[in-house]
Amino acid sequence: MLSETSTPVRKALEKVPGVSLVKAGFASKRAYVLFDSKKASVGALTNATTDAGYPSHVRQGQR
């Protein structure tokens, strides 16, 4: 279930060029992002969530 708090994270990630799908859950503190690696980078994604007020990182082995 997504909460209202996941909305800023989802919106921030959706604004990154190359992102085609975002599923974010506040309770799980996770986001699933499908993106074109030729247009977006992991750094751009983590910067987007940080700029939205929600610092993030890639989980080990999930890259």
Question: Is 26 contained in some domain?
Answer: yes
Question: Is 43 contained in some domain?
Answer: yes
CATH code for position 34:
3.30.70.100
Interacting residues of 7 by C-beta distance below 8 A, sequence separation 6+: none
Better-predicted residue by pLDDT, 11 or 59: 11
- Residue-wise pLDDT for 6-53, tens only, equals 688 999 999 999 999 999 887 888 888 999 999 999 999 999 999 999
Angle between helices 6-14 and 42-51 (to 10 degrees): 140
* Domains of the chain: total: 1
Q: What is the pLDDT of residue 5?
A: 52
Residue 17 domain boundaries: 6-51
Number of other residues whose CB lies within 10 A of the CB of residue 61: 5
Interacting residues of 46 by C-beta distance below 8 A, sequence separation 6+: 55, 56, 57, 58
Q: What is the pLDDT of residue 50?
A: 94
Interacting residues of 61 by C-beta distance below 8 A, sequence separation 6+: none
Question: Is 22 contained in some domain?
Answer: yes
Taking 70 as the threshold, does the pLDDT of residue 63 lie above it?
A: no
